Structures are given as structure tokens and as C-alpha cells.
Structure 1
Amino acid sequence: MVAFTIWRHPQPQGAEGRCIGGRTDLPVDARKAKRLAHRIRAHARRNGLPREVVTSPLRRAADVGRWLKRWGFVWRVDAALRELDFGAWDGKSWHDIPHAEFDRWMAGFDGFDFDGGESLVALLCRAAVWQPLCALAVGHGGWITARAWQGSQTPTPATWPAPLRYGERFTSAPSAA
């Protein structure tokens, strides 16, 4: 498998205090999208990488791809990079989700599907099998954390790492095939 670098999208507008996943498509400030695109372009230039990028279809990642396309990059969209689908929770205020629902999630952390969404196990599988279309990508915190997961054990609330901060990157080393 080819090595690739994936950046977490800039902070979306309107996400504060809400459960934001693969169903809630929020914009980002155009200046922040452009700033991240500049960093990706500089990374590509510094490392002699082709001017190609793949992003999630959600605006918070795709807006960065649009900037890169303006600057001559080949931009592709791949739905497999979408954030975890939080089902019935997606887009809701965290305060509006009853505490008993959080308890239900924590009790079945890896298999809980948020009432019609996607389980962590499903996200781990989706991220693990993804084949990069190029060396540069823009995606989401949950997806990146799932791709980086190295635990041999099933993740628990205590072992699941915090996501990257907005605009940070993760580089996947090539695997031996």
C-alpha cells in the first residue's frame, strides 16, 4: 500500500456543542480552507509529490480540495473518507441527547450504531480497507483516528484516542505487501 498524508479539515462553522458526523454537512470559513490548502500545496512541493488530492465529499473537507483544484491540482472526491455516521444523533446538540443514550453507547462502544448510523467497528473496517487514490487527502477526525488505530484489542472509551486537531495531519506508512 502506498504511503499517504491526510489532513483533518478546518474547524466547521456551526459545529460547536453538536454531534457532527457524516450526515451533517457544514461549511468552513473560506480563509481557513485556503490556509490549509496552502499548507498541503507546500507539503506537496517540499516532498516532490504529484499535484493530486482526494477529499471527503463533505464541504468541510471538499472546500480545501476546491482551493487546490483552482491552483492546478487534480481533485477527486471519495465517499469512503466520510466521517462516522452518527445516525439519529447526527447534527443534534450534545445537550439534547439523553444521558441514558450515552450510557448505552459506552456499554456497547465498538458496536453501537447511533440508531441507524455506523458502528465504530464499521468505521474501523472502512478506514482499514481504503486504498489511497494519491498521496494527499483531506478527511475527518474520526476517520483518521480509525485509520491510525493500531490496537490489537477492541477499542473501548478508555483506549480510543482523541482525534487530531483541525488542520493537523497523519501520515500512513506504506505497508509491506
Structure 2
Amino acid sequence: MDLVIWRHPRPAGIAGRCIGRTDVSVDRRKAKRLAHAVRREARRQRWPREVWTSTLCRCTAVGEMLAAWGWRHHRDARLNELDFGAWDGAVWDDIGAAAVQAWCEDFTAHAPGGGESLTALSSRCQAFLEAQGPLSAPLLIVGHAGWMQAARLLCEHGEPPHDAAQWPVPPRYGESWRLRPGAASLA
């Protein structure tokens, strides 16, 4: 089973803010541009006209655009971004370096802002992958950077890193990653 995951378009008004479950919108033109890119790649590769998204509007906007063109669109909360709890939507400078450092010191187990740990995000990601079962065609997803990073680590290493420095660089907005879950991630 391959996963082809596109990061959602850049949301409006997020500069300097911690954005996880905060439901921020994207410009309709950006959503349409990404939907065209997904559709074009699916045509080229002869992939099914089916897409999965998180329940947050920065991803569903793309899925809804594809659905208007005849695609099947599935929304799944297991694809949502990391829950940053009280940090969510806050300005990073207001959160403070000490709070971020506390997270980095216990990177996988700490729940930033009292929200969700990276271990919990990885478990959610794992549950989604296992629920898909064996597939004959790639699974197309429009998702979030944190979920994509967790999926990459599961596919390549089977677990999240214990050191913040080992967390993968996030994908750019609109960038796609093709991942192949290995035996370690689905054991």
C-alpha cells in the first residue's frame, strides 16, 4: 500500500501562531489549485478518484473541490493535525521558550499545551493505516504537516523519535510525499 499525501494549502492569518486543531480557512483559489494538482497526478498515474482528508477545513476545502468534480471524498478525524491544547491558536512568543523546551526534553510523551503527545498522534496515524487494510491502489490524502511527519516516521522507522532533532522537516504547503508503509509500521 502506498500513501500519497499532499499538505494542505497555506491558511490565511497564521503567521507566528501555533496551529494544530484550530480550524483556519484557506483561500478558495489555493484549494482549487491543489485540487487540480491532485487530480492531474491521479489522471497521470491512473489512480482512483478517491481522496481522504482530515475534518479541518484547510484540508476538506480541497476534498470538497474534488468531490464537486466527481471524486469520492472521505473525512476522517484520525487525519487531523496534532492537538496543541491551550497552545492551539496562540502566538508562539506568548507560549514561550520554556514551555517549548519542556516539550523538547520529553519529546514523544509530553502533551504540548495539555493537548496530545506525539506518541498519541503516532497511534492515531497507525490506527488509520491499519484500518485501510491491503490496497490495490495508492491511498490519496490531503493532510497536515504533523500527521505527514508521523506517517513518514512510522513508514520508515516504525515509531516516533525520542529526540526533537530527529523529527522530519515539514513538507511545504501543497507538497506531496509518497510513502510505503513497511512491516515495522503495520506490525
TM-score, structure 2 length as denominator?
A: 0.87
Structure 1 SS opposite 2:178: strand
* Shift, 1:175, TM fit: 4.3
Mark the runs of 5 or more structure 1 residues left unpaired by the alignment.
none
Aligned pairs, number = 175
Among all aligned residue pairs of Structure 1 and Structure 2, give the percentage whose two residues are the same amino acid. Answer: 48
Q: Distance in 1 between matches of 2:3 and 2:177?
A: 8
Match of 2:164 in 1: 157
CA distance 1:174–1:160, change in 2 (3 Å): closer
1:11 aligned onto 2:10? yes
User: Which is further off, 58-67 or 123-132?
Assistant: 123-132
Which stretches in structure 2 are left out of the alignment for 5+ residues?
Answer: none
Which secondary structure state, in structure 1, belongs to the residue aligned with residue 165 of structure 2? coil
| Superposition TM-score, scaled by structure 1 size | 0.92
Which contiguous aligned blocks of 4+ residues in structure 1 show a shift greater than 6 angstroms? Answer: none
Aligned residue among 64, 67, 82 for 2:65: 67
**Does structure 1 conserve the Cα–Cα contact (< 8 Å) formed by 2:32 and 2:65?**
yes
Task: Give how far 1:135 is off.
Answer: 1.9
SS in 2 for 1:50: coil
Partner of 2:29: 31
Amino acid at match of 1:17: G
* CA positional deviation for 1:174: 5.3
1:106 CA displacement? 1.6
Q: Deviations over 1:45-96 (max 9, x none)?
A: 1111111111011011000001101111011101100000001101000011
The one of 157, 170, 176 equivalent to 2:177 is 170
RMSD: 1.8
Q: Which has the higher helix share?
A: 2
Deviation per residue, 1:109-162 (Å, 9 max, x gap): 111112421001111222123234972110000000000013467331211111
| Secondary structure of the corresponding residue to residue 19 of structure 1 | coil
Which residue is equivalent to 2:109?
A: 111
Q: Tell me the distance in 2 between the aligned counterparts of 1:153 and 1:25.
A: 25
**Using a 3 Å threshold, how does the CA distance of structure 1 residues 153 and 65 change in structure 2: closer, same or farther?**
closer
Structure 2 residue aligned with 1:140, among 103, 125, 144?
A: 144
- Matched residue type, 1:113: A
Code of the residue aligned with 1:121 in structure 2: it is T
State the AA in 1 paired with 2:17. Answer: R
Residue among 47, 50, 60 paired with 2:48? 50
- Secondary structure of 1:158's counterpart equals helix
Number of the residue aligned with 1:40: 38
Distance 1:30 1:161, change over 3 A: same
Instruction: Give the 3-state SS of the residue equivalent to 1:53 in structure 2.
Output: strand
- Tell me, what secondary structure is at the counterpart of 1:13? coil
Query: Are the counterparts in 1 of residues 53 and 74 from structure 2 also a CA contact under 8 Å?
Result: yes
